[in-house]
Chain A
Amino acid sequence: MSEQPLITLQNVGKTFGPVTVINDVTVSVYAGQVQVLLGENGAGKSTLIKMMAGVYQPDSGHIVIDGKTVILSTTRAAEEHGIATIHQELNLVPTMSIAENVMLGRLPTKYGLVDRRALRERARAALALIDLEIDVDTLVGELGIAQQQLIEIAKALSINARILILDEPTAALTVHETEKLFTVMADLRRSGVGMLFISHHLDEIAEIGDTVTVLRDGEFIAEVPASTPEDELVTLMVGRSIADKFPRITGEVGPATEVLRVESLSSHGKFSDITFTVMAGEVLGIAGLVGAGRTELIRAIAGVDHYSSGSVEVRGRALRGGDIAAAIAAGIGHVPEDRKELGLVLDASVNDNLGYATLASTARFGLVDFAGQRSRAAEMAKKLRIRMHSIDQPIGALSGGNQQKAVFGRWIIAASTVVLLDEPTRGVDVGAKVEIYELMNAVTAAGGAIVMVSSELPEILGMSDRILVMRDGRLAGELSSADATQDAVMTLAASDVDDTNERN
């Protein structure tokens, strides 16, 4: 690489109070290349990005753009150098049109009024850069996440970005949508845009990346080609080799006892006629495409939503629909799909968050059992290896994997024996993933059962003892772990999806 990089973070460091978040890291982005930043949550990736985007200033080292040392004191300054960031959380206004979003902050005016014609034209030009054909008057809120992501990219390009930072852009995308994004990225690469790409999906790295910079605990570990085998990348990233990415240990728990029975469960417009049972010691995986009704099914079983007909029984005891408290009392624990929106009170402490499900049941005369709660939470945090400064730290400050372990831990404290997991490892790094799988093993080894909805096929295949596949709100089939392959699952999940896609 004799060519001069677009931007280099040269031996940068950053500390917050006593904590060193980044120590002596060097990373460069070259024109027409995709530089991958790889590391577990908490490795310092986001801090590094924020330095590049002008949010943080490095405490040591410096930033070089086009061979000249610069100081990016604000995000504005970074923008002026052509640096744009696509954050994991999209920064779009759902109630405004695509055109207004693309041109937000730079609305063209005429006589002091918004020049609608120029607005539309410029927005269309921006969309054309990535070959996106959508009516620019469409409200952004009506678009899917993938399309919103593309709008963000168009917006970034419309301010002449030549360095594009993509922070986990594929986390919320389906396989199909990810492919579309990669096509756009490949086009951008050809037109000389330099990209810094962050993803937890290791399989994406070889597909889209050129070079990989691996970080661990704020330190630079290695720079390797993107073609490096996944196992080696994992070893670099976590500092040890993860022998088994899916360490499922099938529970041997004596005679088969049924712990959960779902009978002809239906909910109008969401799913219909679902029947299955789960045995003690079993992990039942539920696969299917997004929108197949899996989350809705899980929510109905957990008592979160009402259902229209059918029944749910836990150990022979019928559960009333829409009664979360009864479900919990019967032993159901529910780790919802979106931990930030549905699982956690982000401003509250780790201690509080671990204890919500047991707040009332452990109280005496309506008074909170603070001492007991603290010791239970501390013990659980230790057992789950939740990385934190203190148990009183707001849980929002923890990494995704640690947050997810806490939501799971809440139900272990509550002694739940039927744990429903909805996308349990979304946005969770490799090391923490394995820890969550080990938790699942612990639940089944103790005679409990797990029902796991996941869109990650390797996870479904690797951790389930039995797999149900849902399609359009119905059970499309059941596979034993021996018979299950990616193809077998996808055939059941998507047999008529191709037609619908073509119609779109």
Chain B
Amino acid sequence: MSTTPLQAKRRGFDYKKFLANNGALVGLVVLCLALFIATPDFLTEQNLLNIGIQVSTVAVLAFGMTFVIVAGGIDLSVGAVAALSAMSSGWLFATAGIPGGLALVGGLVVGLLAGAINGLATAYGKLPSFIATLAMLSVARGLTLVISDGRPIKTSAEVSFLGGDLGVVPMPIVILVLAALAASFLLNRTVIGRSMYAVGGNSEAARLSGLPVKRIRVTVFALAGLFAALAGLLLAGRLDSAQPQAASGYELDAIAAVVIGGASLAGGLGKISGTLIGALVLVVIRNGLNLLNVTSFWQQVVIGVVIALAVGVDVLRRKTRST
């Protein structure tokens, strides 16, 4: 960089600050422009809907993860909980014979409970969230295999509807928008949402101010579980079946989306809009590389570099802020 920060300031517009605060959005726009120029297949209705559907699962998982990361934790179990929730819903419907709609709700409840257990283990059991949710990852994935005996289970029509279309718009995109609005409302407007920032920023200060820190922790993980269940059901709906290995490794995508979106793993920072942008960045990169016929092996390399760059921006942002 040839310009010094001083010169940038004299020009009146602090582009460095703008970049630092909106790095992910700028990156996404640049990415889309580049792909638009590189391939005619990018800006087609079919491809954009495709991106929308793909982003829905990652983003919904990542919304739940945003609560956890804002509150200063981490949740490694969301992928496995997504699979367990979808499988439970499938089992309730196909094996236990429960009506489809109830089975769908049952799936959501399973996710909520799994998340709440993570929360209880963290808040009251004093386990680091990394460990508690690593354990839950294993337990949930194992239970998914136990329930399904390792085979896919056909899901109810209600779950399949989540993967279908509402008029011309695919349902996953509708769910994505609703989930984003709900998550954003929760985080920005409600007492529990604002409390998450305080807990993540300085949990002792929050506690001494009378905030119910433990209850907030449990809520945060329960929400992550609930959003994971929703993502799991979306995924199952698209395939018309719950797969035992569904959403494997998605927790890393979710974490990456949140971090690219500007949240700090130290807690106290993060936005739903940022997370959505982060998820879009991940999915658009994959989509673009597919269109350009880049192998999935190389895709992983690219994604890794993007995550490192995004966190680099995060560090830069905090540096500019602290002076």
Main secondary structure of the interface of B (DSSP, over half): helix
Name the distance in Å between A451's Cβ and chain B's nearest Cβ.
16
Residue among B9, B194, B321 with most chain A CB within 10 A: B194
Does A366 sit at the interface, judged by CB under 8 A?
A: yes
Q: Which residues of B contact A334 (CB under 8 A)?
A: 208
Q: Which of A304, A325, A345 contacts B202 (CB 8 A)?
A: A345
Could you mark each residue 244-272 of chain B with 1 if its beta carbon is under 8 Å from any beta carbon of chain A, else 0?
00000000000000000000000011000
Q: Which of A59, A336, A368, A396 contacts B190 (CB 8 A)?
A: A368
User: How many angstroms from the CA of A348 to the CA of B195 in the assembled complex?
Assistant: 11
Residues A342 and B197 in contact, CB atoms below 8 Å apart: no
Q: Which residues of A contact B6 (CB under 8 A)?
A: 59
Size of chain A's interface in residues, with CB distance under 8 A? Answer: 31
Residues B210 and A328 in contact, CB atoms below 8 Å apart: yes
Residues B208 and A325 in contact, CB atoms below 8 Å apart: no
Name the distance in Å between A422's Cβ and chain B's nearest Cβ.
11
User: How many angstroms from the CA of A410 to the CA of B198 in the assembled complex?
Assistant: 14
Q: Which residues of B contact A352 (CB under 8 A)?
A: 194, 197-198
Name the distance in Å between B222's Cβ and chain A's nearest Cβ.
15
Does B201 sit at the interface, judged by CB under 8 A?
A: yes
User: How many angstroms from the CA of A304 to the CA of B210 in the assembled complex?
Assistant: 9
Could you mark each residue 175-202 of chain B with 1 if its beta carbon is under 8 Å from any beta carbon of chain A, else 0?
0000000000000011111110110011
With A356-B206, A356-B209, A359-B211 as contacts: A368 and B191 at CB distance below 8 Å: yes
Q: Which residues of A contact B195 (CB under 8 A)?
A: 359-360
Q: Which residues of A contact B269 (CB under 8 A)?
A: 347
Residues A367 and B205 in contact, CB atoms below 8 Å apart: no
Q: Which residues of A contact B193 (CB under 8 A)?
A: 368
Residues B197 and A345 in contact, CB atoms below 8 Å apart: yes
Residues B210 and A342 in contact, CB atoms below 8 Å apart: no
Interface residues on B, range: 20 to 34
With A328-B210, A359-B211 as contacts: A343 and B189 at CB distance below 8 Å: no
User: How many angstroms from the CA of A346 to the CA of B201 in the assembled complex?
Assistant: 7
Residues A348 and B268 in contact, CB atoms below 8 Å apart: yes
Residues A324 and B208 in contact, CB atoms below 8 Å apart: yes
Does B165 sit at the interface, judged by CB under 8 A?
A: no
Name the distance in Å between B189's Cβ and chain A's nearest Cβ.
5
CB proximity to A under 8 Å, residues B1-35:
6, 9
Q: Which residues of B contact A304 (CB under 8 A)?
A: 207-208
Residue among A342, A348, A396 with most chain B CB within 10 A: A348
Q: B266: nearest residue on chain A (CB-CB)?
A: A347
User: How many angstroms from the CA of A368 to the CA of B192 in the assembled complex?
Assistant: 9
Could you mark each residue 21-62 of chain B with 1 if its beta carbon is under 8 Å from any beta carbon of chain A, else 0?
000000000000000000000000000000000000000000
Residues B268 and A324 in contact, CB atoms below 8 Å apart: no
Residues A345 and B191 in contact, CB atoms below 8 Å apart: no
Residues B210 and A325 in contact, CB atoms below 8 Å apart: yes
Q: Which residues of A contact B295 (CB under 8 A)?
A: none
Does B128 sit at the interface, judged by CB under 8 A?
A: no
With A356-B205, A357-B210 as contacts: A348 and B190 at CB distance below 8 Å: no
For the complex with contacts A341-B205, A366-B192, 16 further pairs of A-B residues with Cβ separation under 8 Å are A302-B208, A324-B210, A343-B208, A345-B202, A345-B268, A346-B201, A347-B269, A348-B201, A352-B198, A356-B205, A359-B211, A360-B211, A367-B190, A368-B190, A368-B193, A410-B209
A-binding residues in B (CB < 8 A): 6, 9, 189-195, 197-198, 201-202, 204-212, 268-269, 321-323
